[in-house]
């Protein structure tokens, strides 16, 4: 049983999605502190001027958990985001396959960032034919902080392996995982070297939201990934 865990993100990049695909269960870590201006409420897309941040405005207070963060709807950010997608991806080869569902998504009223992010992630997984079950840490009983919390979530999910990004080496405690019978496996972020993108004059960019490769490549997106090596 391979388990991976990560905080929810807005329109996450491709390594986030490929880590989910390599897992038997993915746990959204929404019971920890929210960090404003991280990737939990913003991410990058490609425009004629280069990379551009799309940011969901939020109402935040110190120590607030991700699951409790409210969206600030005092501005019409949903219309702005949808118009940005239309403007910069309207001519992408596969955009029309997804545009009506995406438009309906931005037409809905959202109050909680977590619900918005999770539903959009679920939609992206379906578009990419990634069928890994998704759970939320806020709906589980595991407690603790940092490495302890991750291990307790793995135990609760019945993990035999924990699939971590390379950043996990900075805080995970291998001895505790070994004692618990959970193997630590580290997955380097792998990104495409090239695929057909709009606005070639600003160069190829592979660090964008995964929606970029979805809209440009459709269900052929996997064919653009380099060979991936999992390092223990």
pLDDT of the residue at 60: 84
pLDDT digits (tens, 9 = 90+) for 5-64: 999 999 999 999 999 999 999 999 999 999 888 999 999 999 999 999 999 999 988 889
Instruction: For the chain, give every domain's residue range.
Output: 2-224
pLDDT in tens, 78-131: 999 999 999 999 999 999 999 999 999 999 999 999 999 999 999 999 999 999
Contact call for residues 160 and 182 (beta carbons, < 8 A):
yes
pLDDT at 231: 37
Q: Mean per-residue pLDDT for 69-73?
A: 97
* DSSP helix/strand/coil, 117: helix
pLDDT at 36: 80
Per-residue pLDDT reduced to its tens digit, 134-191: 999 999 999 999 999 999 999 999 999 999 999 999 999 999 999 999 999 999 999 9
State the pLDDT at residue 230: 39
Residue 21, phi then psi, degrees to nearest 5? -65, -30
Q: Report yes or no: 106 and 86 within 8 Å, Cβ to Cβ.
A: no
Predicted TM-score (pTM) of the model is 0.94
Between 62 and 206, whose confidence is greater?
206
Q: Calculate the CA 136 to chain-centre distance.
A: 14
As a whole number of angstroms, the distance between CA 199 and CA 196 comes to: 10
Identify the band that residue 232 occupies on the pLDDT scale cut at 50, 70 and 90: very low
């Amino acid at each position: 049983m391979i388990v991976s865990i990560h905080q929810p993100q807005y329109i996450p990049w491709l390594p986030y999605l490929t880590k989910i695909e390599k897992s038997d269960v993915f746990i959204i870590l929404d019971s920890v502190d929210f960090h404003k201006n991280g990737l939990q409420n913003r991410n990058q897309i490609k425009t004629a001027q280069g990379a551009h941040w799309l940011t969901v405005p939020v109402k935040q207070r110190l120590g607030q958990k991700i699951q409790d963060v409210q969206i600030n709807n005092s501005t019409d950010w949903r219309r702005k985001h949808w118009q940005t997608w239309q403007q910069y991806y309207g001519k992408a080869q596969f955009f029309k396959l997804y545009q009506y569902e995406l438009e309906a998504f931005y037409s809905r009223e959202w109050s909680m960032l977590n619900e918005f992010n999770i539903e959009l992630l679920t939609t992206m997984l379906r578009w990419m034919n990634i069928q890994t079950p998704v759970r939320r840490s806020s709906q589980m009983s595991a407690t603790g902080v940092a490495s302890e919390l991750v291990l307790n979530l793995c135990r609760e999910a019945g993990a035999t392996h924990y699939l971590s990004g390379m950043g996990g080496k900075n805080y995970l405690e291998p001895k505790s995982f070994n004692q618990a019978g959970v193997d630590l496996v580290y997955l380097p972020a792998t990104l495409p070297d090239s695929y057909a993108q709009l606005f070639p004059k600003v160069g190829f960019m592979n660090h964008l939201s995964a929606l970029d490769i979805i809209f440009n490549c459709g269900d052929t997106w996997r064919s653009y990934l380099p060979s991936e090596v999992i390092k223990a």
